Amino acid sequence: MFGFSRSPQEQSLTVSSIFHSAVQTISNPIHANQNNPHNPKHFLQKKSFFEINKPILYLLVAFIFTFCFHPTVLADTLISPSFQIDMSTINMTGGNKSSASYRLSDTVGQTVQGQFNSAGYIIKAGFQYIQGLTPFTFTISNLDLNYGSLIPGTPSLLTNILTVTTGSAYGYTVKTLEDHPLRISNGVATIADTSCDLASTCTQSDATPWTVGTRYGFGYNIQGTDVDTADFVDSTYFRPFPIQDADQPATVMSRVGIATASAATVTYKVNISGTQAAGTYQNNIQYIAIPSF
C-alpha cells in the first residue's frame, strides 16, 4: 500500500491492493486552495490516513493472504465402537502383486518405507514385510493319555510333545496345571501328586529325582527345547502339577526371541501302592501358551 502526489494543483491519493489478479483503486481529488485545509501545504504537514493506519492495513492483508492460501489439511478419525487406530499416516495400498512376467511387493502412501540398517538393529517398514511374519502356533501331539491297568510298585509312563512357533522378538511362555489330582470317577479316592524321593522332595516349581519304587504318586518330567535344564536336569527329575484355583500355573517352556517349532517331550509318571482303591482314575492337564509382545 502506498500514497503519492500528482501535480501541485491537483493530487490524488491512490491505494492499490493486488489479490487474485484483481486491482482495486480508490482515488480522491485534492484541489489546491490557500484556504482549503487539504491544500498541498497542509497535506505535506499532516500524515495521511493510510500512513497512520499502515500497520493495521499490513496486518489485514497478511491475515487475508494466510487465510486464503493456507495449504489444505486432510485428516480422518479412525475410531468406531469396537476399535481405534492411532497412526501418523494412512497407507493407500500395499501387498504382493504378480503376473506371468513379474512379482511386485509394495507400500503406497506411507511416508517412509523400506529396510533400514544400522549397528545393532534392523527396521523394516511397509506392507511388503508383513508376509514374512511368523504366526504364533502351539500344538500338543496327544490329547488322550490312557495308562490302562496299573501294577502296584511298578511305575507307568506316558508321553506327549509340546511344539511352539512364534515370530515375536519377545518370545513366549508355556505354563501348566491340573484340575485336581488323579481321582476315581465314581468316588472321592485319589492318587496323590508326587513329592519325589524322600532324600530330596520336589515341589511345583522345583524338580528333584524320583527313582525309588516305593515312592507313590503322579508327576511329570519335561525334556527338550526351551526347557529349564537347571531344574529338569535329566529324565529322572519330576515335579507335581499345580492345582487349578489353588495354585499358580508352573512354567515348563519359555524363550526370549523367535522360536521355530521348539519341541519338548513331557513324561507323565504314576506309581501306586498295593492299598490303592481299584477303579478308573482321571484328571485334566492344562497347558497355557502365551506369546510375548
Domain coordinates in residue numbering, the chain:
10-69, 93-132, 137-291
CATH architecture observed for domain 137-291: Sandwich (2.60)
pLDDT tens-digit readout, 169-184: 899 999 999 999 999 9
Number of other CB atoms surrounding residue 83 within 10 Å: 7
- For residue 26, the cross-strand partners are 15
Asked if pLDDT for residue 150 goes beyond 60, the answer is: yes
Note the pLDDT of residue 18. 41
> Does residue 202 carry a pLDDT above 60?
yes
Look at residue 43 in the predicted model and tell me its pLDDT. Answer: 46
pLDDT of 34 > 70? The answer is: no
pLDDT-derived band at 98 (thresholds 50, 70, 90) equals confident
Amino acid at 253: M
Q: Output 66 or 6, whichever has higher pLDDT.
A: 66
Q: What is the mean pLDDT of residues 109-125?
A: 81
CA distances from 246 to 60, 207, 249 (A): 76, 20, 10
Q: What is the pLDDT of residue 219?
A: 99
Supply the pTM of this predicted model.
0.60
Instruction: Quickly tell me which residue has 493472504 as its cell.
Output: 65
Nearest alpha carbon to residue 236 among 155, 141, 148: 155
- The per-residue pLDDT of the chain, averaged, comes to 81
- The answer to whether the beta carbons of residues 77 and 84 sit under 8 Å apart is no
The answer to whether 160 and 145 are in contact (CB under 8 A) is yes
pLDDT for the residue numbered 3: 43
Work out the pLDDT band at 31, boundaries 50, 70, 90. very low
Mean local confidence (pLDDT), 24-31: 43
Share of residues in the chain with pLDDT > 90 (%): 52
Q: Please check the confidence at residue 114 and state whether its pLDDT lies above 90.
A: no
Give the pLDDT band (50/70/90) at residue 128: low
**Tell me, what's the pLDDT at 48?**
60
More confident residue, 27 or 111: 111
Whether residue 270 contacts residue 147, with contact meaning beta carbons closer than 8 Å, is answered with: yes
Task: Give residue 200's pLDDT band: very low, low, confident or very high (50, 70, 90).
Answer: very high
Cell readout for 254 is 519359555
* Mean of pLDDT values over 258-285: 97
Angle formed at CA 97 by CA 91 and CA 102, multiple of 5 degrees: 135
* DSSP state at residue 20: T
Dist CA 176 CA 166 (whole Å): 19
